[in-house]
A = this chain, B = another copy of it.
Amino acid sequence: MAAIRVALVNDYEVVVRGLEAMLRTYVDRIQVVELDASRDVARSVDIAMYDTFAGQQGDREEIRQLISNPRVSKVVVYSWNLQPDLVRGALHNGAAGYLSKSLPAGELVAALEAVHVGDEQVVPHDPHPGKVITGDWPGREEGLTPREAEVLALITQGLNNQEIADRTRLSINSVKTYIRGAYRRIGVTTRTNAVLWGVEHGFHPDRARMRPRE
């Protein structure tokens, strides 16, 4: 059987590197062909792994968009956050599975294969139940609210305020409000320094991405 082609959408360097390392020994079964945080999936893939950012509302819409993408066969959510209502919501919106980031490599590969061949929705049980609820998203320790962390992450990806507003479906005024709050908490006053803070705290997506092998 040919290897399953997987894209990782919307994630941070920490995760990207981890996934890359985890799947390196399974290249014959899984190929991560695209890693990109800022753009859509460009080449056709069997499964798109979507990283929901701290379970924001905007995710629902993004998941739907991914599913309607003709280049994507199936979409799974790949997240730390396993709260039941989030899982239900994602599956209800058409996700083919909901995979925990705490899954070891073997189980992750198995789950992806199950998603690929089967019609059932795949939700492996959490190997560390109740363990990863805290430390949910980068910046939690600094007291960033989920929204603040989200806009910070988007800033670290190089978006301007209007683009952030579009992406999050917020008004630009709200975006500014969150940015102000985030700056106060992380102790910066300029966007430049916010970006640097983000880079140093794992918000930086892998832009120098893996070159896909055809």
The interface residues of chain B lying within 8 Å CB-to-CB of A157 are 196
Of the listed stretches A43-51, A56-64, A115-123, A200-208, chain B binds A200-208
- Neighbouring B residues of A200 by C-beta, 8 Å: 207-208
Q: Does A190 contact B (CB under 8 A)?
A: yes
Q: Which partner residue on chain B sits nearest A188 by CB separation? A: B158
Query: Which residues of chain A from 168 to 214 have a CB within 8 Å of any chain B CB?
Result: 190-193, 195-196, 199-200, 204, 207-208
Complex contacts, A68 vs chain B, CB 8 Å: none
A25 in the interface (beta carbon within 8 A): no
Q: Tell whether A160 is near chain B: CB-to-CB under 8 Å.
A: yes
Interface status of A16 (Cβ within 8 A of chain B):
no
- Among B159, B190, B208, point to the contact of A158 (Cβ < 8 A): B190
A190, B109: Cα distance in complex, Å: 40
Considering the chains assembled together, what is the distance between the CA atoms of A191 and B199 in angstroms?
15
**The one of B158, B160, B193 that contacts A196, using a Cβ cutoff of 8 Å:** B158
In whole angstroms, how far apart are the Cα atoms of A199 and B192 in the complex? 12
How many A residues have CB within 8 A of the partner chain?
17
Does A155 touch B at the CB level, under 8 Å? Answer: yes
Give the CA-CA distance A190 to B160 in the complex, in Å.
9
Please give me the residue from chain B that is nearest to A208 by CB atom: B200
Interface residues of A in 7-35 (CB under 8 A from B): none
- Give the residues in chain B near A191, CB-CB below 8 Å: 191-192
Tell me whether B192 and A160 are in contact (CB under 8 A).
yes
Contacts of A156 in B (CB 8 A): 196
Bound-complex Cα distance A158 to B197 (A): 10
Least CB separation from A195: chain B residue:
B195
The chain B residue with its CB closest to the CB of A204 is: B199
Closest to A157 in B: B196
Chain B neighbourhood of A155, CB < 8 A: 192
| Closest partner residue, chain B, to A156 (CB atom) | B196
19 contacts between A and B (CB under 8 A): A156-B196, A157-B196, A158-B190, A158-B193, A158-B196, A159-B192, A160-B190, A160-B192, A191-B191, A191-B192, A192-B195, A195-B195, A195-B196, A196-B199, A196-B207, A199-B199, A199-B204, A200-B207, A200-B208
